[in-house]
Amino acid sequence: SIAFGEDSPEAIEVLIELGNIASQKGRLEEAESAYQRALVRSREQLGPESDDALRAEGGLAMLMVLRDDYAAAEEAIVDIVERLESSGRAESPLMARTLMNLGLAQERAIRIPEAIESYEKARVLVAAGHAGNAVEAFEPQIRLARLQATQGRADEAVALLDEIVPKIRDRHGDLHINTISALSAQCNARYHAGDHEGALESATLAYEAHREMVTVTHPETLRLRVNQLKLMNIVSRFEAADAICEAEIPLARSSLAPNHEVLGEFLVQHASALASLAEIDEAWDCLMEGIGIFERGLPPGHSRTRMAYAIASQFAAARHELAPDQGFDEVAAEFAAKLD
Q: How many Å apart are CA 216 and CA 219, to the nearest integer? A: 9
Instruction: Write down the pLDDT at residue 2.
Output: 40
Average pLDDT over residues 14-26: 91
pLDDT score of 130 more than 90: no
Average pLDDT over residues 316-325: 93
Chain centroid offset of residue 259 CA = 16
Name 274's Cβ contacts closer than 8 Å, sequence gap at least 6: 242, 280, 282, 283, 286
Average pLDDT over residues 93-112: 95
pLDDT score of 38 more than 90: yes
pLDDT score of 3 more than 50: no
Which has more confidence, 7 or 63?
A: 63
Average pLDDT over residues 300-322: 94
Q: pLDDT tens-digit profile of 257-269?
A: 999 999 999 999 9
Average pLDDT over residues 308-335: 95
pLDDT score of 137 more than 90: no
Instruction: Write down the pLDDT at residue 4.
Output: 45
Q: pTM for the whole thing?
A: 0.76
Q: SS3 letters for the chain?
A: CCCCCCCCHHHHHHHHHHHHHHHHCCCHHHHHHHHHHHHHHHHHHCCCCCHHHHHHHHHHHHHHHHCCCHHHHHHHHHHHHHHHHHCCCCCCHHHHHHHHHHHHHHHHCCCHHHHHHHHHHHHHHHHCCCCCCCCCCCHHHHHHHHHHHHHCCHHHHHHHHHHHHHHHHHHHCCCCHHHHHHHHHHHHHHHHCCCHHHHHHHHHHHHHHHHHHCCCCCHHHHHHHHHHHHHHHHCCCHHHHHHHHHHHHHHHHHHCCCCCHHHHHHHHHHHHHHHHCCCHHHHHHHHHHHHHHHHHHCCCCCHHHHHHHHHHHHHHHHHHHHCHHHCHHHHHHHHHHHCC
Q: pLDDT tens-digit profile of 54-95?
A: 999 999 999 999 998 999 999 999 999 999 999 999 999 999
Average pLDDT over residues 163-174: 92
pLDDT score of 6 more than 60: no
